[in-house]
Structure 1
Amino acid sequence: MNEPQIKKQFIAGAVCPACSAMDTIKMWTLDDTPHRECVACGFSDTLDAQGNSVPNELPTRVSRPAPSKPLSQGQTLQFFPNPKLNKPG
């Protein structure tokens, strides 16, 4: 209950990078990281120390969580030699 409330401020003259609407960007700082959000289209991102947009990490094979173990047990296969492939010695 005693948590400080985050003060979100509209930025006058700011243009949304996604929908190009003017005066719809609100900014706030959380843990010394500036965030911005467009109230018109819902676009949101974070900014670095220089004010550049920090892109969200794209899902790749490397960043995905490890797959869980298969639910079913595998079936054991047994291979037999093909008698037709025996070469006469």
Structure 2
Amino acid sequence: MSTPKRFIAGAVCPRCAAMDRLRTWEQNGVRYRDCVACDFFEQLPIEEQAASELSTRVNQPRESQRENEVQTVRILDPKK
């Protein structure tokens, strides 16, 4: 089974450095890339398992969100 060849927007060819000239497609469980501006051609294995998202501070809940604690705020009087 083959997928249609599609251009990769913003991609730069590793051989000739031409932008927007790389295209990709899949055929028989193998992913291919080539450049229409030069003779660059690459065969890539298709990963069967989806890559899990890396754990970062942005996608992890904070401690206060995990516990759903209510914290009181105390206003200090600067005159005292």
TM-score (norm 1): 0.47
Question: CA offsets per residue over residues 16-60 of structure 1, 9 Å max, x none?
Answer: 01011110001000111100000001210111236xxxxxxxxxx
**C-alpha RMSD of the superposition:** 1.8
The answer to which structure, 1 or 2, has the higher relative contact order (CA under 8 A, 6+ apart) is 2
Indicate the residue corresponding to 2:10 in structure 1: 13
Q: State the SS of the aligned residue for 2:33.
A: strand
Please list every run of 5 or more consecutive structure 2 residues that lacks an aligned counterpart in the other structure.
48-80
- Asked whether the 8 Å contact 2:29–2:45 carries over to 1, the reply is no
Q: Stretches of 4+ moved more than 2 A in 1?
A: none
Please say if residues 30 and 43 of structure 2, whose CA atoms lie closer than 8 Å, have aligned partners that are also in contact: yes
The number of residue pairs the alignment matches comes to 47
TM-score (norm. length: structure 2): 0.52
Q: Larger radius of gyration, structure 1 or 2?
A: 1
How far apart, in 2, do the equivalents of 1:16 and 1:9 lie? Answer: 15
Percent pairwise identity: 45
